[in-house]
Structure 1
């Protein structure tokens, strides 16, 4: 039985499903979930991430990690963690750039957190010949706390779904997925009668807000980890830097937006990162946080323009391609503004590279 049919049967038996639960099932259902069974990342797949746009992205993250390690006092042991490493491209490029600091590579214990078996296999292949061999753990709380942590999470928050709530003329309702008489999945509204914490910002009738407990929990867990170990967690994703209304649920297949209810498990489903919620949760858990920068500004502070010039000098024939890659990563009308970067860190005296004020 297909995932769509199983979801329809479950909804018919138990009632409308929240958007967050639906997205989780579509992504991680063991038998039919997108990431569990058929993730397709890259130019020939369903979507592309920044590390696949250009080697410059991963290289700069690698040098960011080296600089952070030095600011932590160059400890003899450091845990380099990536959450949601995709096909391993970011970490492969990061480790190659980090060869400029052999002592850093000698200190690194490389840990990857990846729930998808197909992607774990891809990461193992990508990093098979790297200077540091990875190990995989299932969650943040499985990371030992006897050494500082340098963590990277690129396009992870957008995979942590949110429930959706709509302000109507008669009050608040939750947007849920139901089943029509002919068995099709459909969106509908369930009126909220109590227990709903209204947003602190103004919402007009007809507008949607998103609340992600999973993203908040991730912020708390990152704070707990860096407090226990010292270090920093770098978050890069597309999303909002201030609390605001908006329906951001989307499904991507072959780089095109498709109906998120049409073929559950056959497309990548995402929602925007809610940076204010994540950072607020981290602060409440006792960590410190940086501001939230556009990805373009962050990469420029790390030196991407200088790196692009170096690459073009060594490969003049590739200069037009490198210019296009640079624009895609940093330009306002590409990934430069919609994508944002921030960090959760401890102790308070630590100055996180790229976020100096």
Structure 2
């Protein structure tokens, strides 16, 4: 992004991590480039200088470059326009006019988590009437039952630790953890009664936190705020439950006595990505978001005619020069031999999250289960999609009102964690569910009722979860356990 401001400040030099702004750009009729007033130019120049100064400070020292990408604010607090910002479209237009094209990850992050206009921070995306998608736990409670059985057998194989934490990343409405705990608590009471369980929910949305509390807790158990700024309550099973904004607030138990059982279901697919295209043997250019009026939405709305209602104002363009993020593909041998012209997507956030998850495993206990859709044998190339009213649309359509998702790079998750944990999978969802016994459970439920309409619903839910043509093949299960662990059920 810093390189992209050449369109406003053309002579920039970069050497030994020192940036210098030189010489004013050409101007005509009192306007720089014939378009921008002196005030607009000076505002942009000050913001860029401040960002450069901050970035210079942050990239010095012993840091992993991936941890520093996007740490400086890509957006100014105010733009040159005096008009009121009432939605993300205005916000992005104003920003791009002031600072030039923005990174795709910055665009996605604002679309999903902007405090006033973000998709996840301003609504319940899983609302059956107004939501844009439905997840496996919402389709059938049997899905969560199977995961509850998996965690129970894993707990048994690890000598039944008496203290444990269930940690869910991106828990949605709380349906999955509810179904897991229903099964887990039922099974655990039959074999051991003195187990202490704590629930930790990694959830940034206040809207979804309240939905989770309503489902998991009795109304008499207050939804409180702690001194650290967390929320807390007590579940209907009498488990302490805490809500945190990020995984950084989770404190690792140094004694190794507390087993962490981590759940990640459709979490990684919503993380911001960076997109690159290979220009030559050793050069990668970042694809950044530009603003142009009436760019045709190639995806449109499935099943409807193309209309101007689905034209979009933003699109990807190739950065004319290398950006600071261009270093990311160069750091991995995985991308070195890809042919010129190859386009790839990289999710730095996913790498940080999966490493945090695996670090929460103890020497002899704990488990991570990642369930998501994505690729196993290839690098994601052009998977960014928008989901609006249960249909695919352009990811640049109605910023903030459209859910964004990408294919998870399971190959990279495995590569990052295989030296630190015992990796099992990724395995197709249909295969995993059948291995763990979903067929027997569905047969039991169908035989438990004589109502044919209920039987049909049970069977249709089962087919939707397991069929290759539906969710059975595209969704994957990946498990990370302590080194030396035996293969768990399901795999």
Q: TM-score, normalised by structure 2?
A: 0.67
Q: Is the CA contact (8 Å cut-off) linking 1:209 and 1:245 kept in structure 2?
A: yes
Query: Among residues 257, 267, 274, which one is paired with 1:156 in the alignment?
Result: 267
1:119 aligned to 2:204?
A: no
Deviation at 1:37, TM superposition (A): 0.8
**C-alpha distance in 2 between matches for 1:325 and 1:204:** 44
Name 1:46's counterpart in structure 2: 132
CA distance in 1, matches of 2:317, 2:426: 34
State yes or no: 1:135 paired with 2:222.
no
Q: Distance in 2 between matches of 1:283 and 1:10?
A: 41
- Report Cα offsets for 1:202-237 as digits up to 9, x if no partner: 4463x5211111111111111111147831100000
1:110 aligns to 2:199 (yes or no): yes
Secondary structure, aligned partner of 1:149: strand
- Preserved contact between residue 145 and residue 228 of structure 1 (Cα < 8 Å): no
Cross-structure match for 2:155: 69
Offset from partner CA, 1:154-206 (integer Å, 9 cap, x none): 0001011211112468964322111227893222111454634271464463x
Between Structure 1 and Structure 2, the one with more helix by share is 1
Q: 1:36 aligns with which of 121, 126, 140?
A: 121
1:55 aligns with 2:141: yes
Report the alpha carbon displacement of residue 104 of structure 1 after superposing the two structures with TM.
7.0
Find the residue that maps to 1:337 and give its secondary structure.
Answer: coil
Question: Is the contact between residue 424 and residue 487 of structure 2 (CA under 8 Å) also seen in structure 1?
Answer: no
1:308 is aligned to 2:414: no
* Preserved contact between residue 259 and residue 362 of structure 2 (Cα < 8 Å): no
Q: Which of 410, 421, 425 is 1:291 aligned to?
A: 425
Deviation at 1:328, TM superposition (A): 0.7
Q: Secondary structure at the match of 2:369?
A: strand
Counterpart position of 2:13 = none
Offset, 1:32: 0.6
Aligned to 1:176: 288
Q: CA contact under 8 A between 2:380 and 2:408: conserved in structure 1? A: no
State how many pairs are aligned: 353
- Higher mean Cα deviation, 126-135 or 297-306? 126-135
Q: Is the 8 A contact 1:105 1:132 kept in 2?
A: no
Task: Describe how 1:196-207 pairs up with structure 2 within 5 A.
Answer: 196-197=329-330, 199-200=335-336, 202-203=338-339, 205=341, 207=342
Alpha-carbon spacing, 1:11–1:92, altered in 2? closer, same or farther (3 Å): same
- What is residue 252 of structure 2 aligned with on the other side? 145
Shift of 1:141: 3.7
Q: Deviations over 1:74-104 (max 9, x none)?
A: 1111111111110011111112222132137
Q: Match of 1:78, SS?
A: strand
CA contact (8 A) 1:32 1:265 kept: yes
Aligned to 1:101: 188
> Does the residue aligned with 1:165 lie in a helix, a strand or coil?
strand
Select the structure with the greater relative contact order (CA < 8 A; seq sep ≥ 6).
1
Does 2:112 match 1:27? yes
Larger CA deviation: 141-150 vs 70-79: 141-150
Give RMSD over aligned pairs: 2.3
Q: Which runs of 5+ in 1 are unaligned?
A: none
Distance 1:87 1:352 in 2: 28
Q: How does 1:172-321 map to 2 (within 5 A)?
A: 172-180=284-292, 184-193=313-322, 195=327, 196-197=329-330, 199-200=335-336, 202-203=338-339, 205=341, 207-227=342-362, 230-284=365-419, 286-317=420-451, 318-321=454-457
User: Structure 2: 5+ residue runs without aligned partners?
Assistant: 1-84, 219-235, 295-311
Q: CA deviation digits over 1:279-326, x for unaligned, max 9?
A: 222235x22321210011111111111110111111232111111111
Q: Give the drift of 1:27.
A: 0.3
SS state at 1:35 partner: coil
